[in-house]
Amino acid sequence: EERNAVLVPAPNSGIPGAPANWVPPPGMETHVSVLFLDLNADDLSANEQLIGPHASGVNSILPKEHGSQFFYLPIIKHSKDEISATAAWDSSVHDSVHLNRVTPQNERIYLILKITVQLSHPAA
């Protein structure tokens, strides 16, 4: 039970990360957990920056996920009105006979997509 209390703290338990369970007064925002990293806002394009102790969650994996090389997906379109982006993906880079063919109608391909979001000026 102690482990569950730490991993999934109950609302208003006082444990850091616990959700707030109250109605804030007018003009005050609700509690939203945000992790701020000490990154240089002027240099957020380098992919090498996404390693080390400041890159939270970079080494996260899903249960039964097969560890393999990650491929950079170039963003070809993004929306300024919504939080969305379109990236180009070429299945041939995986060198898999299951991906390098037309997928039959009764089969499905599932993609595990790992996204890293960098905020250039999170307090602005």
Which range marks the domain in which residue 67 is found?
Answer: 50-123
12-31 pLDDT, tens digit each: 777 766 776 777 777 776 65
Kindly report the backbone phi and psi dihedral angles of residue 48, in degrees, each rounded to the nearest multiple of 5, phi listed first.
-65, -20
pTM: 0.39
Residue 103 lies in a domain: yes
Residue 2 lies in a domain: no
Q: Is 94 helix (H, G, I), strand (E, B) or coil?
A: helix
Residue 1 lies in a domain: no
- Cβ atoms of residues 62 and 112 within 8 Å: yes
Structure tokens at 69: 């090389």
32-60 pLDDT, tens digit each: 555 555 555 555 454 555 555 555 666 66
- Residue at 108: amino acid letter: R
Residue 7 lies in a domain: no
55-87 pLDDT, tens digit each: 566 666 777 777 777 777 888 888 888 878 888
Query: What is the pLDDT at residue 85?
Result: 83
Residue 54 lies in a domain: yes
Query: What is the pLDDT at residue 55?
Result: 59
| Total domains present in the chain | 1
Residue matched to tokens 């006979």: 97
State how far the Cα of 94 lies from the Cα of 69, in Å rounded to an integer: 9
Residue 13 lies in a domain: no
Q: What angle do CA 103, 62, 98 make, to 5 degrees?
A: 20
